[in-house]
A and B are shown apart, each in its own frame.
Chain A
Amino acid sequence: MLDVVAILSFVVLFSLSVFYVYGCENLKGKRK
C-alpha cells in the first residue's frame, strides 16, 4: 500500500513540476 502511495507521489510531484515549467513560461507571455 505504501508503495502505491510512494509511486503516486512521484507521479503527482513530477507532473506538477511540468505544469510549473509551463507556468513560468506563460508568466512571461502574460506580462508582455
Chain B
Amino acid sequence: MSLNGWLQIAVFIATVLLLAKPMGGYLTRVFERRRTFLDPVLVPCERLLYRLTGVNPEEEMRWTQYAVAMLIFSAATLLLTYIVERLQNLLPLNPQHLPGVESALALNTAISFTTNTNWQSYVPESTMSYLTQMLGLATHNFWSAAVGIALAIAFIRGISRREANTLGNFWVDLTRATLWVLLPISTVLALALVSQGVVQNLRPYDTVKLVEPQKVTDAHGTVTTVATQTIAQGPVASQEAIKMLGTNGGGFFNGNSAHPFENPTPLSNFLQMLAIFLIPAGLTVTLGQMVGSPKHGWAVLGAMVVLWFAGTTTCYWAESQANPLMHGVDQHVSSLQAGGNMEGKEVRFGVANSALFATVTTDASCGAVNSAHDSYMPLGGLVPMANILLGEIVFGGVGAGMYGMLVFVVASVFIAGLMVGRTPEYLGKKIEAYDVQMSMLYLLIFPLIILGFSSVSVLMPNLGLSSLTNHGPHGLSEILYAYTSATGNNGSAFAGLSANTHWYNYSLGAAMFFGRFMMIIPMLAVAGNLARKKIVPASAGTFPVTTPLFTVLLIGVILIVGALTFFPVLSLGPVLEHLLLRAGHAF
C-alpha cells in the first residue's frame, strides 16, 4: 500500500460525500414534484409522454398496483430486447453483419439487462450489432435503473406517509427518474468521457496491419500467420455513461472498463467510480429529507461508509501483498511499478485504483470491472464476493441499494425492539409481524437462490463442472461468484467459468429473474403496509434511528446475517484457497 494510493481513495470518498447532499436534495425535488431548473425543457416532454401513453399522472397506486405495473413494464421491455437480439441480422446498424443471437443466450441477456444485472455470457463486439447495443441494451440501462430508483422512492413514501393506501404512481416515478435524473447526468458524463478518449461512432470496425506479424498454432497443429488486427468501434461513450450511472455494468467491449476505448485514463476511471456511487449516496439524503429526519439519512450513510472502508482496506491490503509463489519476481512498490499482485490489472490504474474499483462496483450492483477479479489474491477476491453476498447495500445499486438497506433497517429495529422488550418502532411506525415476515422473505430468498444453484452446479458434473477451467477451492469460488453476481443483479464475473452453456444460460437467467423480482415484491409489501400505519409519538422506549448506536447496530445486523449465511461456503472457497496458497498450492 502506498500514500499515493490512499490519497486517491480519500479524494474519491470525499467527492462522493460532498456530492451526496446536492444530489439527494435534487432527487427529493424531482420526486416530490417540486420545481427544478430542468422543468422548462422536461415538463412539456413529460406531459407529451403521458398523453401518448394514456397515463394519468395524478392517479395514485396501491403497492400491489405499483408492483404489477413494474412487472408489466419489465416483461414488455424484456420481450423487446429478446426480439431485437434474435432479429439483429435483419435489422439496420449491423456493419459487421453479425448473425442473430442464439436463443438461450438471447434469453439470458434479455433477463440480464432487464434486471439491471448485465451479466454477459458473450463477447459483445463479436456478438451484438450496434442496434442491439443501443436499442436492446443501452435503453435497458436507463429503464432498469429508473425502475430501481422508482422502487426506492416508493419505499421511502411508505415510511413517510401516514394512514395512506398508496405509494405513488409507478409510471410517473419511472418517467421522472429517466428524464430528470438519468438522461441529463449521463449526457454530461458521456461528453466528459469523450473528452478523455472514449470512442463514440457508428463506423465499421477498423482493420490494421500488425507491426510484427504473429505465428499462431491452432488445436490441430496448423500454423497460420496473423498479419492484421480488427479494432472494434461503436457508440461507446453514451453507453458507458449510463452503464456506470445506472449501476448496470455491462461493457460495450468484452474487456469492460479495462478496455482503453471504454476507460482510457485515470480521470475517466475516477469519473466512472464516482458515477456508480453518485445516486445511491444521494438517495440516503433523499431518505432523510422525505421522512423528515435528515439525521436518519446520515446515520444510514454512515453505515455504508464504514462498510465501504472495511472492504476497500481489505482488498487494497490483499492486492498489495506479493504472491508467495512468484519466486524471483520483484513485487515491491517502487517509482517504476505499482508492486503487489499486478496479474490481471491495468498498469494505468495500478493496485489502488483496481482494488477501489472492484470494491465500489460490488458495493453497488454495478458489475463493471477494470481488472480481472479472478486474478485477485484469494482474500482480495473474497471482498467483491462478500460485498455482493451482503446484499449490495453498501451504497448499493441505484434504488436497489436503498430499498435493500431499508429492509435491513426494519430487521435492525425489530432486533432492537426484542432486546429492550418493546414493540419495535421505525420513525413512529410500529413494526409488526407482517413487516418482519416480508423482510425475512426478502433476506432468505437471496441465499436460497445462490446456494441452491451453486450446489446443483457442483453436484452435477455434466451441468456445472464441464465448462469450469479451474479446480479446487478456486473452481468453487468461480461457480459461487457467478450465482452470487447473478442473484445480486451485479453482473461482474470471475473468469475461468465458460458460462455460455445451456445450463448456465438458463440457470443464471433464472437466478437473475428471481433475485430481482422475488425480492422486490416482499419489499414493496413492507412499504405498502408501513404506509397504512399511524405515526405513534416517540417515547422513552423508542429506539432512536439517528444516532451512532443505530449505525453500529445496523452494521452488526448486516454482518451477522451475511456472515452466518455464507461463512461455510466462503471458508471452502477463498479462505481455503488463501491457506493453501500460503502452503504452496495454487489453483
Interface residues, chain A, with chain B CB atoms under 8 Å away: 2-3, 5-7, 9-10, 13-14, 17-18, 20-22, 24-25, 27-28, 31
Interface residues, chain B, with chain A CB atoms under 8 Å away: 63-64, 67-68, 71-72, 74-75, 78-79, 82, 86, 103-104, 106-107, 433-434, 437-438, 441, 513, 517-518, 521-522, 525, 528-529
Total A-B Cβ pairs within 8 A: 53
CB atoms of A21 and B103 under 8 A apart: no
Main secondary structure of the interface of A (DSSP, over half): helix
CB atoms of B103 and A28 under 8 A apart: no
A and B contact pairs by CB, cutoff 8 A, 8 listed: A9-B107, A10-B78, A17-B521, A18-B68, A21-B68, A22-B64, A25-B63, A27-B437
CB atoms of A17 and B517 under 8 A apart: yes
CB atoms of A6 and B106 under 8 A apart: yes
Question: Which residue of A is nearest B103, CB measured?
Answer: A2
CB atoms of B513 and A13 under 8 A apart: yes
CB atoms of A21 and B434 under 8 A apart: no
CB atoms of B103 and A6 under 8 A apart: yes
CB atoms of B79 and A10 under 8 A apart: yes
Additional A-B contacts beyond A10-B82, A17-B71 (8; CB < 8 A) = A2-B103, A3-B86, A6-B103, A6-B104, A7-B79, A24-B521, A27-B437, A31-B433
Quick one: which of A3, A6, A20, A22 has the most chain B CB within 10 A?
A6
Question: Which residue of B is nearest A6, CB measured?
Answer: B107
Known: A10-B79, A28-B434. A21 touches B521 (CB 8 A): yes
Question: Which residue of A is nearest B516, CB measured?
Answer: A17
Residues of B contacting A24 in the complex (Cβ-Cβ under 8 angstroms): 438, 441, 521-522, 525
Residues of B contacting A7 in the complex (Cβ-Cβ under 8 angstroms): 79, 82
CB atoms of A25 and B107 under 8 A apart: no
Residues of A contacting B67 in the complex (Cβ-Cβ under 8 angstroms): 21
Separation of A8 and B68 alpha carbons in the complex (Å): 19
CB atoms of B525 and A18 under 8 A apart: no
CB atoms of B518 and A10 under 8 A apart: no
Question: Which residue of B is nearest A9, CB measured?
Answer: B107
Residues of A contacting B438 in the complex (Cβ-Cβ under 8 angstroms): 24
Residues of A contacting B68 in the complex (Cβ-Cβ under 8 angstroms): 18, 21
CB atoms of B521 and A14 under 8 A apart: no
B131 to chain A, nearest CB (A): 19
Question: Which residue of A is nearest B502, CB measured?
Answer: A2
Question: Which residue of A is nearest B438, CB measured?
Answer: A24
Contact of B64 among A10, A14, A21 (CB under 8 A): A21
A31 to chain B, nearest CB (A): 6
Separation of A18 and B71 alpha carbons in the complex (Å): 8
Separation of A21 and B198 alpha carbons in the complex (Å): 43
Question: Which residue of A is nearest B114, CB measured?
Answer: A10
Question: Which residue of B is nearest A3, CB measured?
Answer: B103
CB atoms of B434 and A6 under 8 A apart: no
Separation of A31 and B437 alpha carbons in the complex (Å): 11
Residues of B contacting A9 in the complex (Cβ-Cβ under 8 angstroms): 107
CB atoms of B86 and A27 under 8 A apart: no
Residues of A contacting B71 in the complex (Cβ-Cβ under 8 angstroms): 14, 17-18, 21
Residues of B contacting A5 in the complex (Cβ-Cβ under 8 angstroms): 103
B143 to chain A, nearest CB (A): 16
A28 to chain B, nearest CB (A): 5
Residues of A contacting B513 in the complex (Cβ-Cβ under 8 angstroms): 13
Question: Which residue of B is nearest A21, CB measured?
Answer: B67
Residues of A contacting B78 in the complex (Cβ-Cβ under 8 angstroms): 10
B437 to chain A, nearest CB (A): 7
Residues of B contacting A21 in the complex (Cβ-Cβ under 8 angstroms): 64, 67-68, 71, 521
B166 to chain A, nearest CB (A): 14
Question: Which residue of B is nearest A24, CB measured?
Answer: B525
Separation of A5 and B506 alpha carbons in the complex (Å): 12
Separation of A9 and B513 alpha carbons in the complex (Å): 11
Known: A10-B78, A14-B71. A31 touches B521 (CB 8 A): no
CB atoms of A25 and B64 under 8 A apart: yes
Separation of A7 and B107 alpha carbons in the complex (Å): 9
Question: Which residue of B is nearest A25, CB measured?
Answer: B64
Quick one: which of B71, B438, B528 has the most chain A CB within 10 A?
B71
